[in-house]
Structure formats: C-alpha cells, structure tokens
Chain A
C-alpha cells in the first residue's frame, strides 16, 4: 500500500475512533443491563477499543 493511501487510512481510523468513543454513539450504549455479566456500556467500550486496536494492527503491519 502506498504511503499516501496508508496515511489516509490511518486518519480514517482515527476518525472512526472519534465517532465510536464519543457521545452520540456512547449514549446509545448508556443503558442498563449487561452482556455476559458485564454492563452494556463497559462491554461496548472495551469491545470497540479492541476493534480499533485490531484495525491498527492490521493497517500497520500490512
């Protein structure tokens, strides 16, 4: 992958993260209840975080 494309994808990933971890989306998960015993919000945050990291890994190691 060429440099410019890589740069852009990283920026896009950052944007994705900004969206995932900010209020409009976060508020969606700000509900009671739990998944696998973990409160929904926490589960979401860590899952999203893991996803972003996985994407970072994939992008960086290509």
Chain B
C-alpha cells in the first residue's frame, strides 16, 4: 500500500483539507464572523512552534542524549510565565502602532528606521534558512523512507541520487505554491491571515494526535507499558547510562542552560511565533488561556519522546537507523502501515505549518521592510504616480516566498547533511535570539537608541554567522576545513568554534555566549554613547509607556504640515485599494461625527496619523511614514528645533524653580527678621520699662527732697514743728534714694555678672543669729516678738556671708514692715533637709494675695500696692534676694494666705 503515488496522494489530500479550512476561515473573517476568534484556536496556533524538528528530531536527540532534548520546550514554558509582563506589553504596543511584523516592530521602536527594518529582515531570512531547510529535509527524508517500505533504508545510504535531491526541491516548490495560495490572496491592513491561523490550529491537532498515537503504540503495544519499556532499557548498560544522563548532555551544564535561554528567546522572536502570537492575535484576553494551554501542549507532545527513543534503540540496536526516524520507522518495522502513514502526514503537517507561517511572515517583512522602502525612495520609478500599488505589493510578497523557499532548499543542498535535525534548528534559534536585546530593551528601556539596536544586531549577527554558519558550510565542504581547525589565516584565537580560546563548549553555547556578548555590549554601548533623535524619543515613549498612554492620539503630537483629506484618501486607496480606503475613511468620519464622502474632513494631525497607521498595515510603518510625509508636505520638527523648544521649556522650568526657591528664602529671611525684631522690641521695651521705672523710683524721693528743701529755703517762717518734720522727710527720702541707688547698682552688678561674690563656708546658725541681732532695734521699736528656731548643728553652706545677711535682713525688714503693728510676731526657722538648708521667715501680717504672690519677686513690685497705700521700700529687695539665693544654687518662694500672714522661705545647698 505504501507506495509513492499513494503517499503523494495522501499528502495532497491533507494539504487540500488544510486549504479548505483556511478558505472557510477567510470567508468567515470577511463576513465579520471570525471563526478563529477564540482562545483555544489561538493557543493551538502557537503550537506551530513544534515543527518537524519536534516531530522527528526530538526523538533523535533523546536517543543520543537522554533528556537533552527537553530544554527547548522547558524554555518556552518558563518564558510564557513572563508573557504576562512581556507579551501583554508587546501586544498592546503592536495593536496601537499597527505593527505588521517583527521587523516593523523593531524599526518602529527605533524611530521608524527603514534601515533597521531592512537589517532585521535580512537577519531573519538568513537565520531562518537553516530551519526551513530542516523542514524540507524532514519531509523529503520521511517520504523517502516511507516509500522504501517494507524495507527500512536510511536516505543517506541512497547516495547522491537526483531523486533524493529532487524530492526536496519538489517539496520546496510545492510548499511555495501552497503558501502563496494561502497567504497572498489579498492584502490586509492589519496583516491578519485568519485562514492561515485556522489551518495552523488544525494541523497542530493533527501532529499531536499522530505523535501520541505512535507513543501509545510503542509504549503499550510494542511493550507492556512504561515500566516494561524502561525496565528493558535499563537492562542494557548503555541505555541505562542514559537514564541518569545529565553527565551525558553534550556540553554539560552550560549547554543545558544556554539551550533553555535560547528557546526562551525563540518562542518570542521566531518570525512565525511573532506572527501568530502578536500579529494574528485578535484579543488580548486570549493570552490568559494560551499561557497554560500552550505549555500543556508541549508537555503532551513530549510525553512519549523518551519511550519512543528507547523503543527505537531497543528495536534497532547497532545505530543503523537514525534516531530522527524512529517515529516513522518503528511503526514501519512493525508493519503498521496506517500508523506509518499517519506519522508521515503528521510530520508533513508539522513541516508545512512551519513553512507556511514562517515564509508568510518573512515575505511580509521582505516586502514591507526591505523592498518597499528601497522602491519608494527610488524616484525614478515614480511610484507616487501609480494609482494602484496593491498588485505590486502582492507580487513582491509572492516573489519573496518563492525565493525564500528556494534559498532554503539551497541551504539544504549545501549544508543540510552535516548535522542532525536538532542542531540545524538550533542555528536558527541562535540567529533570532539576536533580536532579543533590541526588542526587550526597546520595550523596557527608553534609552535604547537606533544606533544601539543597529550596532547590537550587526555585531550579534556577525558573530552568529562566524561561529555557526561558517562552520556548517565548512563541515559540508564548501569552505576549507582548515578554517575550523586552525582558524582564519592560521590565527588560532579566531577559530570559529573556539573564539579567543573559549573551548570545551558545544557549538551552540559557544556561539550564544559570544554573540550575546557582542550584541548586548554594542546595544548598550551605542545607546549610551549618543542621545536619541526626535523620532526615536517619541517612539520610545510610545513603546515603553504604552500602558500609560491614552490611545493612539499620542503619535499625533509632533506634527506640523499641510494636507488635504482627498489627498490622504488617494494615498490610502493606492495601497489598500479603494474599498479598504473607503472603509477606513468612513470609520474615521463616523468617529468624528461627520460623513465621508461629503463633509470636508479636516486634514489635521489626527487624520494624518490615522491614515499613516492604516497604511502601515500594508507597507510597514517606515514606508508609511515616508508616503504620508510626502503627501502632507510635512514640516517635521527638526532635531534642532525640538531641542530648542525643549531647552526653552526646561529653562523656563528651571527659572521658575529658582524664583520659587528665592521667594521661599525671602519668606524665611523675612520671618527671621520679624522674629528678631520682635525680640529686640521686647528687650527694648523691657529696658525701657526698667529704665523708666528706675528713673521714676529715683525721681520720686528726689521730688520730695527738692520740694521740701525749696520750701524750707523760700519760707523761712515755717514753724519749728513743721520745719523738723520737713527736715526729717528730707533725711528719710535721702536715705531712701541712697538705698534705691545702691540696690539698683547692686542689681545691675548681679545681673550683668559683674558682682563680686566672696565664697566661704557659712554657718547659717551664726548668720541668722547675727541678722536677727542686727534688726533688734527695729523689732524693739515696733514691739515685734521674734522667735528663732535653730537646730543644734547644721552643715555649712558655701556662700557669700554678706550677701546672705543681706537676704536675711531683707526678709526680716519686710516681715517687720508688714507685721500687725503692736502685735507683731515673726518666726525664723532653720532646718536641715536633703542636700540643703531651709530658712523660713514668717510674719503675722495681712498676708499676700495670690495675684501678688506671683509677681512679688519681680523688679519694682511690692505687695500691698493696692491695699495699704505705698509702703516703704523700692520693690527691688525681694528680687535681689532671690537673685542672690539662686546664685548659690538655692530657691526662694513665698507661702501665704490672705489674713494669715506670709512665710518667705529659701533653701541653700549645704556641703
């Protein structure tokens, strides 16, 4: 049954089914009822990641390396965990900026640079060629093997026959035709290919089913389950060694790590992945399901890899059968024709899926980001004059598809034999990994510049070429093998497989280390070296801050120019076709409450931006920019102008900032001045008060003295009684004056610190005794009874004897002054307390009311101002006494109740 024509017929039948599905899906899409707008389809479409490499190559790798095939699937699982952060951002950015491809994304981010877009396209094409050739190899090999049924013969052994080569070529051409039919039937502004996505989702299911079928077959039919299978494998020492195979993983630890990293980047930056994950995404919400469904798919499709590998090793000992073919050859060996055919279809499915999506993605890039920018700049073609360019665009894409597939075939012919499938694939992985710095840096770091991206990409790609592609060519004989073994021109340090002496790593790891080093180094270095231009800066903000932006109007900010709506319409029609242009303008008009055609639509910045975005969907953002600019006769803000503007703005900001600062400083200074002024005024006032009070106090006795002296002089006939009275007053007032002057001088000396204190050990008993004795005459005159209570012994006090006596005299004379006349009683008491001696002078006078008590120690304050008329005394006595006591570390206070006398007390610390 399994003969050439049958197989081919089946293949075509399958492709026909795919085509039908795609067609149907496209119809539904056009009708506005997309069939692929659900998360499951989206997740399955992501599974285009699993190609013939997965289908055939994983088993092959497992057969030689054990678990060494797994990092390529674990990596994406890990990366997908980060998709919530990274992919959501990329999706949002791409939707907002109508990104149509990976090259478009990068070009757009770095200032809509057509150059960058072109370079990315070239790298992508060259980098993917090995991958495409791998699919061709797998399909052709699987066909060749199958057609040999029931014999199992490896294609290599067939020798270099034309048939073998023809197969791959036919496959390539077939796939090209298929892809053209699939993906270039019309131009879509958003580059959606819904039909393609539907077909891909379907084929993901097919390959999964096929693989699981083989897995189940091998595990449960060839053997009795996993235990049996592994048990038998363990029986063979060589195989058992593979069960703890980490040592055996080629390149060891580093290799495992780098493979994981590599595949993490592949899942993002393979053009086909970017296409299905980003461009074809219809709804951000689908991401939630995809985040776990896709890893689940990968787990499922890898579940039976190891059993199949072991099954194959057990079944075909001796290495005559390639591990890459086990999936097919095992059913064949067991005469399972249907299964084998299913496997073949499965493999075909995997391969075609990859090729279709990849080449469509690449052709879009080639058209939008490589060819069109060049053509548009070639004025000789006068493309601006052409009314309809859709035909040209489609033609370019179709040509690109054919070209890419042929190049893939070329690679297969030149270098495809040298490596196992997996290795070939990894070379492509390493190529697309070069996009990582530019993209990831681009969405997170505003400082990433065009120069940086250019430098990084060029450097990374160059290293990749040198360390991976060259060796492949050399190993296939197209370049002298000496290049690998001795290095170029014999320079050992530049050996492509051991650059600068870094040996001992497997080829991929080695290449990754150096290329990433060069890439990231150049990216960061160039980015930091120069500041971004106007366009770059705008784009950087748009990208990095995408979650903070409010819609698409952001892009319209920096624009000045003149345009007319009809001109813009014509432009759009030229590229998208009249129908699409009509739709676009109608939508826009409706959104602005107008009608199109009819009302004059204002060709303002918003419309221009809208048209540009629509156009970018067809020809890429860089080209769209150029076209719109030419129509709108834009005056772009030049870098200089923008810089000036920004400078001015920032200067204003700085200036106003400085003003603010100055005014704050001024306020602070004013406040300080005001406070100081207040203080001064207060001091002044206090000084004034003091001076005026003192002068008042001085003048009062002086007045009496002068008055009476004058009276006595001018009225000599005053009687003797009055004369002596007056003279008495004069004397008393003179005394009063003297006393006052002395006290004022005393006070001022004490307060200014210029008083002379003579410290000595003072016996308070003695001192009090002396003071009381000194006052004895006064007491006698006023018939005051004095009680003195002194303890037997008291510790000495360090103080100035005279001063303390002064205090005692002051208190005693006050007490005497206020005592009840005739019935005066004064009690003096001395006590020893903790750390101090306490002296009390109590009188039985009228007492002091609380209000007076508070101020009695103040200068010039006397008790009894309001009650008994002005008493004798200056009002300074108590104040000075307190100053004295406090000088020696003591306290003075009064206790009194109205009507119950007053008690003045003070303490002095004893030694």
> Do chains A and B directly touch (beta carbons under 8 Å) in the complex?
yes
Chain A interface residues toward B at CB < 8 A: 6-7, 10-11, 13-14, 17-18, 21-23, 26-27, 30-32, 34, 36-39, 41-42, 45-46, 49-50, 52-54, 56-57, 59-61
Interface 0/1 of B212-237, CB less than 8 Å to A: 00000000000001111111001000
- What CA separation (Å) do A31 and B865 show in the bound complex? 107
Query: Are A41 and B67 in contact (CB-based, < 8 A)?
Result: yes
Query: Are A53 and B226 in contact (CB-based, < 8 A)?
Result: no
Interface size on B, residues (CB 8 A): 40
Closest residue of chain A to B246 (Cβ to Cβ) is A30
- What CA separation (Å) do A53 and B73 show in the bound complex? 12
Interchain residue pairs with CB less than 8 A apart (27): A10-B83, A13-B81, A14-B82, A17-B78, A21-B78, A21-B260, A22-B257, A22-B260, A23-B253, A37-B225, A37-B227, A37-B228, A37-B230, A37-B231, A39-B230, A39-B234, A41-B67, A41-B243, A41-B245, A42-B243, A52-B77, A53-B77, A53-B292, A56-B291, A57-B291, A60-B292, A61-B292
Interface 0/1 of B75-106, CB less than 8 Å to A: 00111111111000000000000000000000
Q: How many A-B contacts are there with CB distance less than 8 Å?
A: 107
The 9 nearest A-B residue pairs measured at CB: A37-B227, A57-B292, A14-B81, A39-B243, A56-B292, A60-B291, A10-B84, A17-B78, A13-B81
CB distance from B319 to the nearest CB of A (A): 22
From known contacts A22-B256, A52-B77, A56-B291, infer whether A32 and B70 are also in contact, taking CB-CB under 8 Å.
Answer: no
Query: Are B85 and A42 in contact (CB-based, < 8 A)?
Result: no
Chain B residue contacts of A18, Cβ below 8 A: 78
Query: Are B226 and A38 in contact (CB-based, < 8 A)?
Result: yes
From known contacts A11-B81, A11-B85, infer whether A56 and B295 are also in contact, taking CB-CB under 8 Å.
Answer: yes
Chain B residue contacts of A10, Cβ below 8 A: 81-85
Taking a contact as CB atoms closer than 8 A, the residue among B77, B229, B257 that contacts A49 in the complex is: B77
From known contacts A37-B226, A52-B295, infer whether A11 and B82 are also in contact, taking CB-CB under 8 Å.
Answer: yes
- What CA separation (Å) do A38 and B225 show in the bound complex? 10
CB distance from B166 to the nearest CB of A (A): 41
- What CA separation (Å) do A58 and B608 show in the bound complex? 44
Q: Does B74 contact A (CB under 8 A)?
A: yes
Closest residue of chain B to A38 (Cβ to Cβ) is B226
- What CA separation (Å) do A1 and B161 show in the bound complex? 63
CB distance from B69 to the nearest CB of A (A): 11
Query: Are A53 and B296 in contact (CB-based, < 8 A)?
Result: yes
- What CA separation (Å) do A6 and B306 show in the bound complex? 35
Closest residue of chain A to B71 (Cβ to Cβ) is A21
Taking a contact as CB atoms closer than 8 A, the residue among B82, B228, B299 that contacts A46 in the complex is: B299
Chain B residue contacts of A56, Cβ below 8 A: 77, 80-81, 291-292, 295
CB distance from A50 to the nearest CB of B (A): 6
- What CA separation (Å) do A52 and B299 show in the bound complex? 11
Closest residue of chain A to B288 (Cβ to Cβ) is A60
- Additional pairs, 13, CB under 8 Å, beyond known A6-B84, A38-B227, A54-B292: A7-B85, A10-B81, A10-B82, A13-B81, A17-B77, A22-B257, A23-B256, A34-B230, A39-B244, A41-B244, A41-B246, A56-B291, A60-B84
Chain A residue contacts of B643, Cβ below 8 A: none
Query: Are A17 and B74 in contact (CB-based, < 8 A)?
Result: yes
Taking a contact as CB atoms closer than 8 A, the residue among B67, B231, B287 that contacts A42 in the complex is: B67
- What CA separation (Å) do A60 and B245 show in the bound complex? 34
From known contacts A31-B244, A53-B296, A60-B289, infer whether A17 and B230 are also in contact, taking CB-CB under 8 Å.
Answer: no
Taking a contact as CB atoms closer than 8 A, the residue among A31, A39, A50, A59 that contacts B299 in the complex is: A50
CB distance from A1 to the nearest CB of B (A): 11
CB distance from B309 to the nearest CB of A (A): 11
Q: Does B739 contact A (CB under 8 A)?
A: no
Chain B residue contacts of A45, Cβ below 8 A: 67, 70
CB distance from B647 to the nearest CB of A (A): 36
CB distance from A58 to the nearest CB of B (A): 8
Closest residue of chain A to B75 (Cβ to Cβ) is A21
Q: Does B240 contact A (CB under 8 A)?
A: yes
Chain A residue contacts of B256, Cβ below 8 A: 22-23
Q: Does B303 contact A (CB under 8 A)?
A: yes
- What CA separation (Å) do A53 and B545 show in the bound complex? 30
Closest residue of chain B to A31 (Cβ to Cβ) is B244
Closest residue of chain A to B78 (Cβ to Cβ) is A17
- What CA separation (Å) do A23 and B249 show in the bound complex? 12
